[in-house]
Structure 1
């Protein structure tokens, strides 16, 4: 059939034909890696060598696994410090082309052997799942990638191609009989999404085709008072010194309160691991709920600080975040998850960690609203209930200050070179 061949698996009553995965050639491309800002080091130029593996053939409707194997990273671990076992975690992006278009988010485990100073970086394989929704030939091309190292401080090194990489693998997609409309979505790992195909394909958030939930009823009169939202999947990319990524299901519920609404935002359980042993009252979440449809702006919601001490490495359940939404427009307004902020306060200057939404996300709730005086539209933000402090960070200034504070608390200055990524936010927290 092809150079890939066909594997014959003989079993009791017959013969099972199993198509071998596409044997992708190694792809090399010039790469620029940006070391963590705390290192003060210039960008590193190098060559990345990648092998992309995917099924050679599949049918419309199949969800296939794609594997990114980093044969050679663009730079070595510089001659600064040794990296411990299982401290390196890569994430990356594959460009989807041909019969589909978009991007596929790839993620690898935090898994590596000890990596000595001045030796090649050893990255675990990254994987992603691609939903095939249109017949034709689909191409997979490696793109940018990120390397997070968790110790002694969590930092990221961001690497991007400086030339157009060659196609890494091709999937021939045939119509399986069920057919599909042109366009659709390409889902990656159940966490993030990309549009695929042509026409008016819509972008959805991974984990299913969740749609907005109508709040029903008029914005001002009687009738329904509780408006449950739809659970939507969201992937957050956090700035250092926080975790690299947080993936969670988020639900926005509303309860009518006069002409406005009391909001409750709920995340999934165990959305992140505790970075260190934290006392009660040390960790507090907040979020900027995004308004759309007829209205615009954001609504700030906040949750209480942890009521009990947190154990290092144990999953953390974020408490419900609450705020008040005062409509700034009349019509149908949507509410979607926005920037999640984690604030850690151990006395002195708090560490503020903003986590931006990656990609597009569906609205969790749609409400029939009636404009209220001082409402959210026109650029003004609605405020969080009982909100003081713990505001949302829109820039990295707080993050930079937190890193400097960490260095002072540690009582030492660590210079980080090359493309390495070692510095964990939580050094200060452990102290």
Structure 2
């Protein structure tokens, strides 16, 4: 969401007002839909037809509901797989123009009738709410949208206009006022990160900074503070993972033994997985006086995972050898999830998206061969973590979000939203 114009208020924050009857206008535009990279499929070309509904008039201070109805998606459900009931969830963006310039995030429920093969995609309506804080004429123009299908695995098909799109609706805002604020919705990516490193959402800011300072005075244990992190994952992983992360340190001579924990949270296992199949690691980012990264690693899951049952990520451990003298910070970095079923492992890197606060500050003393200026895994070694620890938080796409892309399907080629996916047979999963 952009940093000016209107406030997006999803999830019932405030009372929706409309000072004039709602209007609805249908627009169509050429669209390119891009399947996940794992599919190897070229983009799909088609036409999207959208109907935007919004009040014709409103006053400064009103909160108005905007509805996006997809009359026709850019492509059909291909002749490969029937989509089950309530497995399709759309999200999208509306460009706000005229008196203000902003973007409005839209979200629909995971709700649809069964969609047979070779039939039109049926998408539920998406909704968003604008808080109007400036007088004038405001235009609403549909823009890019994403179709998520949760079964038999979570996949995203991303669609964007390939021509100038006509305005879908216009709101005349009367009784002029001051500026406007922005606030985040309930979907991933609905907040913005400013240049100061703070995260803006719901009209408030969370400033970045270190935590758990220490390193001297005879102390040996240095607990970090819990910080929020959003990860952007490569295919076949989920688009994003949002989790709380804590970095703790224990002084060991001139070095520090690190323990990284993800927040407690529920994630359903995407498939039956044998013990030891799923293993996390992270590149902890160094800042302040020091630089580089320290790799920490967790063990595989200690027991077999049942499909649909909660999964926790184990603690990740490693050793940090300081490469500089001064105050050094430790922050969450790239999270990597590896699934090994015997053969070539599936490696899913998840990069930190936007700014993130430091979890820990340490008063460090330079050690020979330390981390300053080093690259990945500089200044540290890794060791297996304990089997206990935090769970991977959900992705913002309900309980069937995070890592459902690992639901490897039985020797089947699946076509979802115009994309083909080939996965490991169930027999390998069972091994």
- TM normalised by structure 1 equals 0.70
Q: Structure 1 residues 317, 200: CA separation in 2 closer, same or farther (over 3 Å shift)? A: closer
Instruction: Select 1:310's aligned residue among 292, 305, 313.
Output: 305
Q: Which residue of 1 aligns with 2:286?
A: 291
CA contact (8 A) 1:273 1:315 kept: yes
Q: Structure 1 residues 269, 106: CA separation in 2 closer, same or farther (over 3 Å shift)? A: farther
CA distance in 2, matches of 1:306, 1:202: 35
**Aligned residue runs from structure 1 range 411-430, under 5 A:** 411=411, 414=413, 416=415, 419-420=418-419, 429=429
Q: Which residue of 1 aligns with 2:118?
A: 118
Q: Which residue of 2 aligns with 1:46?
A: 46
Structure 1 unaligned spans of 5+: 1-15, 389-402
1:157-197 CA distance string (max 9 Å, x none): 22222234456677869999xx9xx898642327545448x
Q: Which moved more, 1:77-86 or 1:414-423?
A: 414-423
Determine helix, strand or coil for the equivalent of 1:83.
coil
Q: Structure 1 residues 223, 116: CA separation in 2 closer, same or farther (over 3 Å shift)? A: same
CA distance in 2, matches of 1:268, 1:85: 32
Determine helix, strand or coil for the equivalent of 2:358.
coil
**Aligned residue runs from structure 1 range 182-193, under 5 A:** 186-189=183-186, 191-192=188-189
CA distance in 1, matches of 2:363, 2:166: 49
CA distance in 2, matches of 1:228, 1:419: 48
CA distance in 1, matches of 2:16, 2:107: 30
**Aligned residue runs from structure 1 range 160-171, under 5 A:** 160-166=160-166
CA distance in 1, matches of 2:251, 2:236: 38
Q: Structure 1 residues 226, 312: CA separation in 2 closer, same or farther (over 3 Å shift)? A: same
Q: Which residue of 1 aligns with 2:332?
A: 337
Instruction: Select 1:353's aligned residue among 348, 355, 358.
Output: 348
CA contact (8 A) 1:104 1:186 kept: no
1:223-274 CA distance string (max 9 Å, x none): 5444333333333333333344432222223333334333222222235320
- TM normalised by structure 2 equals 0.70
CA contact (8 A) 1:205 1:362 kept: no
1:335-392 CA distance string (max 9 Å, x none): 332322222223233222223333443333344444433333324233453169xxxx
CA distance in 2, matches of 1:426, 1:170: 51
Q: Which residue of 2 aligns with 1:392?
A: none
Q: Which residue of 1 aligns with 2:360?
A: 365
- Is it true that 1:33 corresponds to 2:33 in the alignment? yes
Q: Which residue of 1 aligns with 2:382?
A: 385
Q: Which residue of 1 aligns with 2:78?
A: 78
1:74-101 CA distance string (max 9 Å, x none): 2111223322223333344455677887
**Aligned residue runs from structure 1 range 14-25, under 5 A:** 18-19=17-18, 23=23, 25=25
Q: Which residue of 1 aligns with 2:231?
A: 236
Determine helix, strand or coil for the equivalent of 2:429.
helix
- Is it true that 1:216 corresponds to 2:210 in the alignment? no
Alpha-carbon shift at residue 45 of structure 1 (Å): 1.4
CA contact (8 A) 2:94 2:106 kept: yes
Q: Structure 1 residues 200, 311: CA separation in 2 closer, same or farther (over 3 Å shift)? A: closer
| Number of equivalences | 386
Determine helix, strand or coil for the equivalent of 2:382.
coil
1:294-317 CA distance string (max 9 Å, x none): 443322222222223322112222
Determine helix, strand or coil for the equivalent of 2:184.
strand
Determine helix, strand or coil for the equivalent of 1:163.
coil
CA distance in 2, matches of 1:224, 1:173: 62
Q: Which residue of 2 aligns with 1:4?
A: none
CA contact (8 A) 1:278 1:429 kept: yes
Structure 2 unaligned spans of 5+: 1-14, 386-404
Determine helix, strand or coil for the equivalent of 1:300.
strand
Q: Which moved more, 1:132-141 or 1:87-96?
A: 132-141
Q: Which residue of 2 aligns with 1:246?
A: 241
CA distance in 2, matches of 1:259, 1:134: 56
Q: Which residue of 2 aligns with 1:319?
A: 314
CA contact (8 A) 1:183 1:195 kept: no
CA distance in 1, matches of 2:98, 2:365: 46
Determine helix, strand or coil for the equivalent of 1:385.
strand
Considering only aligned residues, what root-mean-square deviation do their CA atoms show, in Å? Answer: 4.4
CA contact (8 A) 1:93 1:142 kept: yes
Alpha-carbon shift at residue 32 of structure 1 (Å): 0.9
Q: Which residue of 2 aligns with 1:3?
A: none
1:379-428 CA distance string (max 9 Å, x none): 4233453169xxxxxxxxxxxxxx9xx68xx456x374862466677856
